[in-house]
């Protein structure tokens, strides 16, 4: 019985610690108000680049009535940049949330994922993952994007493009590079 009490106390400590970190982040973001760059510095402390599963395939299947959809079925629920004004040499975050219902249980859709930053119509940064997998369920993908030091002031586009035999999408978001 003492072991269970100690385990429960430890679990409570972990929860309290997580809640206090969240409270500090929320208060800091509220105090920083209009300063997006400072808010991004707080937010990125709680995000890790990469992907994480947020809803299991069964939940997405029920939510989107996937039985009645042509599969594989894909919806990009969110596609956003953490900052819309960026200085040369700084970084910003990109978050994409998608849901996918596969044709067969646990099936993934493999294809080419291209990311680009464009300025005046020309790519200045490009990255290609030729074996990217779209997975069943709801996934959150976070990326930290570095803008080159030599980036000129002006309007830029951050682009994502996915191509496979059964799915494709193209997304573009704009941001502004400002002088330091």
Mean pLDDT of the chain, nearest integer: 85
For 56-110, what is each residue's pLDDT tens digit?
A: 999 999 999 999 999 999 999 999 999 999 999 999 999 999 999 999 989 999 9
DSSP 121: T
CA torsion angle 60 65 70 72 (round to 10): 10
For the chain, the domains span 49-177
| Structure confidence by residue, pLDDT tens digits, 20-48 | 554 444 444 444 444 555 554 555 555 68
**What are the DSSP E strand ranges found in 56-121?**
73-81, 85-86, 91-101, 109-119
CATH fold for domain 49-177: Immunoglobulin-like (2.60.40)
According to the model, what pLDDT value does residue 23 have? 44
- Predicted local confidence at residue 116, as pLDDT: 97
For residue 156, give Cα distances in angstroms to 37, 91, 103, 177: 17, 14, 37, 7
Q: How far apart are CA 61 and CA 69, in angstroms?
A: 10
């Amino acid at each position: 019985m003492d072991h269970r009490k100690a385990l429960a106390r430890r679990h409570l400590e972990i929860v309290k610690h997580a809640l206090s970190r969240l409270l500090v982040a929320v208060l800091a973001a509220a105090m920083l108000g209009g300063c997006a760059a400072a808010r991004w510095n707080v937010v990125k402390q709680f995000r890790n680049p990469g992907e994480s599963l947020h809803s299991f395939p069964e939940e997405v299947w029920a939510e989107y009535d996937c039985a009645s959809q042509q599969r594989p079925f894909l919806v990009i629920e969110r596609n956003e940049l953490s900052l819309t004004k960026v200085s040369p040499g700084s970084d910003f975050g990109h978050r994409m949330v998608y849901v996918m219902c596969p044709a067969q249980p646990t099936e993934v859709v493999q294809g080419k994922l291209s990311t680009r930053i464009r300025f005046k119509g020309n790519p200045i940064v490009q990255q290609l993952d030729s074996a990217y997998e779209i997975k069943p369920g709801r996934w959150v993908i976070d990326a930290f994007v570095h803008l080159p030091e030599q980036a000129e002031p002006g309007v830029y586009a951050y682009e994502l493009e996915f191509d496979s035999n059964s799915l494709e999408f193209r997304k573009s978001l704009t941001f502004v590079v400002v002088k330091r």
